[in-house]
A and B are shown apart, each in its own frame.
Chain A
Amino acid sequence: MTVFQIAYKNLFRRKVHTCFTILGITLSTWVLVTLLGFNKGYENSLNNDINGMGFQIVLTAKGCPYEAATLMLKGGTGLRYMPEDIVKNVSSAKQVEQTTSMLMHAEFDPNKGENGGTTVFMGIDPSTYPLMKPYLQFKQGGWFSNWSENEIVLGFEAAELEQREVGDLMLIAGSDKEYKVVGVLSRTGTQDDGMIFLPLKTVQKIFDKEGFLTMLGIRLNKDANANAFEEELYKLPDVQVVSMAQVKNTIMSLVSSAKAIVFSIAFIAFLIAMFGILNTVLMSVFERYQEIGILKSMGALPKDVFEMILIETSLLCSIGSIIGIIFSITFSKISEFIIRYFLPFAPSGNLIDIDLKIVIVSFAAITLIGITGGIYPALKGAKIRPLDAIRSEN
């Protein structure tokens, strides 16, 4: 019988001990893999959301930058407006490849829900907006016939909620006219899914905001110096420049404090796992004091005992890590659901992105830490003197 076989069989002799130790390692691995996956997934999703916006810089009316970021990414309220003339100033700049004007309006609808509710409408320029967002595909129909028609394009979820299809009519709070649905977008996984799009001029007219915009999206030429152009834009009166890099940094800084807390918890989970292993293996060494003594009296060398105990530890860590990794992958959707519930802002897409690198790093980290925890008990076992052990009462 080899040392490995003895070590393997030993695990089944104290099943409850073994199970609880594996459970502790499993939980630690689960937390670690999920956290690393979240770290990667959140940033990727945020990048995708920002890249999906189709423009690098947004001009908004002066106000709180967080409000502006929320406005763009999630559809905020309490909107501020800027004059439409700004488009002429900006579009003529040589660094600009394309601009698109947007007017977002939040209107209270007394018939939405039992006590009323707010509906957000997005007025867009049909000649430029689709060019900025080429990823928008239609499930039915297409964009507006021109930019002042009483026509509506619905995001996938908005259409589902309103049970609308192309050709159906809709009412808009604040207007007594009927609006025709001309397009239903396919699901994008972005905030566009819940949006009700109308031609810009139509929104300006309905809500008495003629000559005003809430946002101007700017796409720069490839060789343009974005920082220098941003500096130029800062000179414009009463507007705020929000670059996508700024938005990303703002959100990432908000999330980083939450991440620091979570990583601290993961570190504690790490320590608990390590000391758990140390405790379990040490206990098993003490419990098997006489047995190890007999093994040594039969010819086992200290090296063999050390090896046996370390193999036991390695097996515990490997099994626990593998189960933890399986759990973290299997339950990633549930973990994501919970994280989304608690996070103030979560981008669309996969928040938890577990790849092979994360799996390998987590497995190696947990197994190494576990083995480190097993070294002391293994040394202790290796030093047991056969005669002392056999004479002892336990």
Chain B
Amino acid sequence: MKKFLFALFLIIAAGFYIQVFSAVGCDLNDPDRDVKRFFPQSTSYKTDYFSISKLGGDELLKEVEKRLDDKFQGLYETIDVPYTLYTIFKDKEIIGYIHGINQKGLYGGLQVFLVYDIKGTVKNFYYQKLTSKAAKEFRSENFSKQFMEITLNDFKNYSPKTAQGGSSKVLSIKNPNTDDNVDFQATLRAVKKNLILTDIFVFSKKIK
């Protein structure tokens, strides 16, 4: 009887799965193309969905906010936002991860993606979505390459609230357009949040 009830629960849970994730997530527009672009040697990838509410609830939210040194804000940065993590494989071996998050910018939502190696070092940075008068500068290679080889440790002491702190690598990241400081700071907050969440979803489980 217990087995039957458990099976019934699984079936019902599967039926309502689509309804549960109602908040907007951050998926790659074209995963097949994007994964190949960042990992030309990859042979496959796996998609996993996480949410703070499911992984640890309010306690985890508090931990993330503490590490971020900022509160989750507004209507859309909520505990139930689904996060999509792409795990990249070469045959059966994991060769990296891709993870993106939404961040409120000055004129619209930013979608900031980071490409990681298996140790959690950032190997690529890009905006999938960005609305800014300085969009060209923010999307430039000169700006994105400043995030190469960044790790969570570099951002550990960076505070999005004061826009200060961080390692010498973080301090050396230059705003490509000084007229738009809001999107620059939003980007740094997004990168730190991305690093923290990826650490929770992947690296803290494996490496510690």
Contacts and interface: CB of A to CB of B under 8 A. Distances in A.
Interface of A: 110-114, 139-140, 157, 159-165, 168-171, 178, 184, 327, 330-334, 337
A330 B15 contact: yes
B133 A160 contact: no
Given A113-B29, A160-B76, A333-B19, A171 B14 contact: no
Contacts of A330: 11-12, 14-15
B19 A162 contact: no
Contacts of B131: 111-112, 162, 170-171
A113 B75 contact: no
B40 interface: no
A169 B29 CA distance: 25
A171 B12 contact: no
Contacts of B176: none
B102 interface: yes
A157 B24 contact: yes
B78 to A, nearest CB: 10
Interface in B9-57: 11-12, 14-19, 23-24, 29
Interface stretch (B59-67, B122-130, B154-162, B193-201): B122-130
A163 B107 contact: no
Contact of B11 (A113, A163, A184, A331): A331
B108 A114 contact: no
A87 to B, nearest CB: 33
Nearest to B29: A113
A163 B135 contact: no
Contacts of A139: 75
B15 A337 contact: no
A178 B76 contact: no
Contacts of B107: 169-171, 178
A334 B128 contact: no
B29 to A, nearest CB: 6
A197 to B, nearest CB: 16
B74 A165 contact: yes
B128 to A, nearest CB: 6
A140 B16 CA distance: 28
Contact of A161 (B15, B19, B24, B77): B24
25 contacts: A111-B130, A111-B131, A111-B135, A111-B139, A112-B129, A112-B131, A113-B128, A114-B128, A157-B24, A159-B75, A160-B24, A161-B24, A163-B102, A163-B104, A163-B105, A163-B109, A169-B107, A330-B11, A330-B14, A331-B14, A332-B15, A333-B16, A333-B17, A333-B19, A334-B17
Contacts of A184: 75
Interface string B127-154: 1111111010001000000000000000
A157 B109 CA distance: 12
A25 B74 CA distance: 51
Interface string B68-82: 000000111100000
Nearest to A164: B108
Contacts of A162: 108-109, 131
A163 B15 contact: no
Contacts of A171: 107-108, 131-133
A171 B131 CA distance: 7
